[in-house]
Chains A and B, each alone.
Chain A
Amino acid sequence: MSAESISEVMRDPVRPAAASLSEEKRTITVAVAGNPNSGKSTLINAIAGTRLHVGNWPGVTVEKKEALFEYEVKLIKLVDLPGTYSLSPYTQEEIITRDYLVHEMPDVIIDVMDATNLERNLYLTVQLLELDIPVIMALNMYDEAEKKGYTIDSNMMEEMLGVKIVPTIATRKAGLHDLLKAVVKLVDDPSSHHPKKLNYGEDIESAVSAVEKQLKDSYPSLAEKYPLRWLAFKFMEEDEHVQSELKISGDVLLIEDAVRHLKKAHEEDMESIMADARYAQAAGLTREVLKRPELRKTDLTEKIDRIALNRFLGIPLFLAAMWFMFKLTFDVSKPLGDWMNALTFGPFKRWAEALVGLIHAPAWMSSLVTDGVIAGVGSVLVFVPVIFAMMFFITFLEGSGYMARAAFVMDRAMHSIGLHGKSFIPMLLGFGCNVPAIYATRTLENQRDKALTALLIPLMSCGARLPVYVVFIGAFFPAYAGTVLWSLYVMGIALAIVMGLIFKRTLFKGEAPMFIMELPPYRLPSFKSLMIHTWEKGKHFLIKAGTYILAVSILVWFLLNLPWGVESKKDSYLGQVGQVVAPVLKPLGFGSWEAASSLMAGVIAKEIVVGTMGEIYVKKTGEEQSAVKPAFTADLIEIGTSFTTALRNSAENVFSTFGISSLSTKEDEKRSGLKSVLRTTFTPLSAYAFIVFVLLYMPCVVVAIAMRQEFGTWKWFGISFAYQMALAWLMAFVIYQGGTLLGIGG
Chain B
Amino acid sequence: MNLSMLKPGERGTITKIGALGPLKRRLMDMGVLVGEDVKVEKVAPLGDPIEVTIKHYNLSLRKKEAEGISVEVAK
Q: Is the CB of B46 within 8 A of A315?
A: yes
Q: How far is the CA of A314 from the CA of B24 in the complex (A)?
A: 30
- Render B15-52 as a binary contact track against A, CB cut-off 8 A, 1 for contact: 00100001111111111011000000011111111010
Q: Is the CB of B25 within 8 A of A271?
A: yes
Residue A541 lies at the interface, judged by CB distance under 8 Å to chain B: no
Q: Is the CB of B65 within 8 A of A515?
A: yes
Q: Which of A309, A314, A404, A520 has the most CB of B within 10 A?
A: A309
Q: Is the CB of B33 within 8 A of A412?
A: no
Q: Which of A117-125, A257-265, A459-467 faces chain B?
A: A117-125
Instruction: Name 15 A/B residue pairs within 8 A (Cβ), A-sorted.
Output: A85-B29, A88-B25, A90-B22, A272-B24, A276-B28, A279-B33, A311-B43, A314-B44, A409-B45, A514-B23, A515-B49, A515-B65, A516-B23, A516-B61, A519-B58
Given contacts A272-B24, A412-B47, A412-B49, contact A85 B30 (CB under 8 A): yes
Least CB distance from A173 to B in Å reads: 26
Top 6 nearest A-B pairs (CB, nearest first) are: A412-B46, A86-B29, A314-B45, A275-B28, A519-B58, A412-B48
Report chain A residues within 8 Å CB of B62. 411, 415, 514-515
Residue B7 lies at the interface, judged by CB distance under 8 Å to chain A: no
Report chain B residues within 8 Å CB of A516. 23, 26-27, 30, 59-61, 65
Given contacts A90-B22, A309-B45, A515-B49, contact A408 B60 (CB under 8 A): yes
For the side of the interface on A, what is the size category? Answer: 35 or more
Q: Which of B26, B46, B49, B62 has the most CB of A within 10 A?
A: B46
Interface of B, secondary structure class, is: mixed
Given contacts A309-B45, A409-B44, A413-B46, contact A518 B30 (CB under 8 A): yes
Q: How far is the CA of A85 from the CA of B59 in the complex (A)?
A: 13
Report chain A residues within 8 Å CB of B25. 88, 90, 271-272, 275
Report chain B residues within 8 Å CB of A271. 24-25, 28
Report chain B residues within 8 Å CB of A120. 30-31, 55, 57
CB closest residue in chain A, given B54: A120
CB closest residue in chain A, given B34: A276
Q: Which of A292, A312, A314, A517 has the most CB of B within 10 A?
A: A517
For the side of the interface on B, what is the size category? Answer: 20 to 34
Q: How far is the CA of A120 from the CA of B65 in the complex (A)?
A: 20
Beyond A309-B44, A515-B49, A518-B59, list 4 extra A-B contacts (CB 8 Å).
A275-B28, A310-B45, A412-B49, A515-B62
Interface of A, secondary structure class, is: helix
A residues 267-303 near B (Cβ < 8 Å) are: 271-272, 275-276, 279, 292, 301
Report chain B residues within 8 Å CB of A117. 55-57
Q: How far is the CA of A411 from the CA of B58 in the complex (A)?
A: 17
Report chain A residues within 8 Å CB of B31. 119-120, 123, 279
Q: How far is the CA of A421 from the CA of B22 in the complex (A)?
A: 20
Q: Is the CB of B55 within 8 A of A119?
A: yes
Least CB distance from B23 to A in Å reads: 6
Q: How far is the CA of A409 from the CA of B42 in the complex (A)?
A: 11
Report chain B residues within 8 Å CB of A314. 44-45
Least CB distance from A114 to B in Å reads: 9
Least CB distance from B55 to A in Å reads: 5
Q: Is the CB of B27 within 8 A of A315?
A: no
Residue A205 lies at the interface, judged by CB distance under 8 Å to chain B: no
Given contacts A117-B56, A119-B56, A516-B61, contact A408 B49 (CB under 8 A): yes
Least CB distance from A34 to B in Å reads: 14
Least CB distance from A419 to B in Å reads: 13
Least CB distance from A402 to B in Å reads: 13
Q: How far is the CA of A730 from the CA of B26 in the complex (A)?
A: 43
Q: How far is the CA of A219 from the CA of B10 in the complex (A)?
A: 53
